[in-house]
Amino acid sequence: MHEDHTTTKPEGAWIHLEMEHELRDWTWALECSEDRLREAVAAVGNGAVQVREYLEHR
C-alpha cells in the first residue's frame, strides 16, 4: 500500500534528516525549506521541540 505523505503530520520527538519521508513531512509541518530545517537541526540538534522553537524565534 502506498502512503500519501502530502498531508501527513510527522510523528515522534526526533527529526531524522537522512530519511526522505521525514525530511519531506517535517518541512511541510514546520513550513520551512529543507535548508532551513537542516540549519535548525545543526544549531539545536534533532529534537522536534527544540527545532520548532528555533524556527519560531528566528
User: What pLDDT tens digit does each residue of the chain (58 aa) get?
Assistant: 445 545 456 767 899 999 999 999 999 999 999 999 999 999 999 999 999 999 999 8
Q: What pLDDT score was predicted for residue 12? A: 75
Picking from 11, 9, 21, 32, the residue whose alpha carbon sits closest to that of residue 41 is 32
> Are 12 and 49 within 8 A, CB to CB?
no
Write down the pLDDT at residue 6.
Answer: 53
Alpha helices in the chain (DSSP H): 20-30, 34-44, 48-56
